[in-house]
Amino acid sequence: MVILLFGPPGSGKGTQSPRITALLQIPAISTGEMLRAECEAGTPLGNIASAVLAKGHLVSDGLVNQMLVGRLAKPDCRDGFLLDGYPRTVPQAEFLEEFLRENGFPRPTVIHLATPISVLVERISARRQCPVCGRIYNLLFQPPKKKGVCDIDGTNLIRRADDTVEVVRERLNSYEQQTAPVIAHYSGGDYHAIPANRPPAEIFRDIEEMLKPRIANCPRLSAHGT
């Protein structure tokens, strides 16, 4: 099974992704993490990407596609995978469709964590981070035990410069403009908009309910009683 997980910053992808992959017993692949890993490992593709990023440019679709193909060729992706952060453009979506078809994978199931921008701004602007250990808190959902202080090392928490209301709103508007064509591309297929302005458990309940018929048709998963 192939899952494409879409959602703007603050929509809860980081919470739902591990739940979905545990349910389906498939790996989650974040293209951002994949890119960083390639760069840090100094692979040929990583070196090319590092040089591009050092100049302040965006990594091309072609380069991201090559990295992705290499990752999907690994044994843990044999029975499927979840992609987070890909495809970001319609050409990437078209490339992925051809790859899936040529390699015998089913068409993707698209899960879109749809959340009003006003809610996302509130969520993200409520984030605080420990400047020492890096732990992130959310004053709305996961506040520190002691107000304004990290639970781990007692350091005063800070708000990152890119978590201000103005910056967050600009980032979200850019995300919407960038991903709208991709969402439209998939809207006629196995596409599911899941309202994400709710507790995480409720969101996952709806995702699980939506996936049940697909799990029932998958011998590997149904045999394990998933």
Band the pLDDT of 144: cuts 50, 70, 90.
Answer: very high
Question: Quick one: average pLDDT of 190-213?
Answer: 93
At 72 the pLDDT is 93
Structure confidence by residue, pLDDT tens digits, 55-95: 766 678 888 899 899 999 999 999 999 999 899 899 999 99
Q: Nearest-5° angle of CA 204, CA 205, CA 209?
A: 115
pTM for the full predicted model? 0.80
Structure confidence by residue, pLDDT tens digits, 104-135: 999 999 999 998 888 888 888 888 999 999 88
Question: Quick one: average pLDDT of 192-219?
Answer: 90
CB burial string 172-205: b at 16+ within 10 A, e below: beebeeebeebeebbeeebbeebebbeeeeebbe
Residues involved in catalysis: 13, 88, 127, 160, 171
- Indicate whether 171 pLDDT > 60: yes
At 162 the pLDDT is 77
The strand ranges marked E within the chain are 2-6, 28-30, 81-84, 109-114, 127-129, 136-138, 191-195
Tokens read off for 129: 């981070």
CATH superfamily of 2-26+79-223: P-loop containing nucleotide triphosphate hydrolases (3.40.50.300)
Structure confidence by residue, pLDDT tens digits, 24-56: 999 999 888 888 887 888 888 878 888 877 776
Residue 116's DSSP bridge partners are none
Query: Would you kindly state where each structural domain of the chain is located, as residue ranges?
Result: 2-26+79-223
- Indicate whether 23 pLDDT > 70: yes
Band the pLDDT of 225: cuts 50, 70, 90.
Answer: low
Based on the number of CB atoms within 10 Å of its own CB, is 140 exposed (0-12), middle (13-18) or buried (19 or more)? exposed
Residues 216, 222 contacting (CB under 8 angstroms): yes
